[in-house]
């Protein structure tokens, strides 16, 4: 069964850091671009970043460049999101997602992990 399982969310103070993980199974992880997408009531659904198969190419939404870093470990079938200098507006559910059967949509999503930035 194809599965993505996020972890690492929690409550963090403004200015703090958090590292999210996404464990993949049921498919050849190293063959696919991977993405992080977040969702909050205030900002809706927002694509955050993606990374290519070997980690050599990364793209970010402009508003997050310099604070968030996407990475992957193909040996561990894992995707990561390092989040620094967190702000209240980063509070959201964070999903990892892939386009497994198509490159033009996200057909597999994890269950999401909640990040709350609050003092």
Contact between 104 and other proteins by CB under 8 A: the answer reads yes
Contact between 18 and other proteins by CB under 8 A: the answer reads no
Burial zone of 44 (CB within 10 Å; 0-12 exposed, 13-18 middle, 19+ buried) = exposed
Contact between 57 and other proteins by CB under 8 A: the answer reads no
Contact between 68 and other proteins by CB under 8 A: the answer reads no
Of these, 18, 95, 98, 115, which contacts other proteins (CB under 8 A)? 95
Distance CA 108, CA 42 (A): 24
Side-chain half-sphere exposure of 69, counting CA atoms within 13 A: 11
Interface with other proteins by CB under 8 A: which residues?
35, 44-47, 50, 59, 61-62, 95, 97, 101-102, 104-107, 109-112
């Amino acid at each position: 069964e194809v599965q993505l399982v996020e972890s690492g969310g929690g409550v963090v103070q403004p200015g703090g850091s958090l590292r999210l993980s996404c464990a993949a199974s049921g498919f050849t992880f190293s063959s696919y671009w991977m993405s992080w997408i977040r969702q909050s009531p205030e900002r809706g659904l927002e694509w955050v970043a993606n990374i290519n198969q070997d980690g050599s190419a990364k793209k970010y939404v402009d508003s997050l460049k310099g604070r968030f870093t996407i990475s992957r470990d193909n040996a561990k079938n894992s995707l990561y999101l390092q989040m620094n200098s967190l702000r209240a507006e980063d509070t959201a559910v964070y999903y990892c997602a892939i386009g497994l059967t198509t490159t033009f949509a996200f057909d597999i999503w994890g269950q999401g992990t909640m990040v709350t930035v609050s003092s």
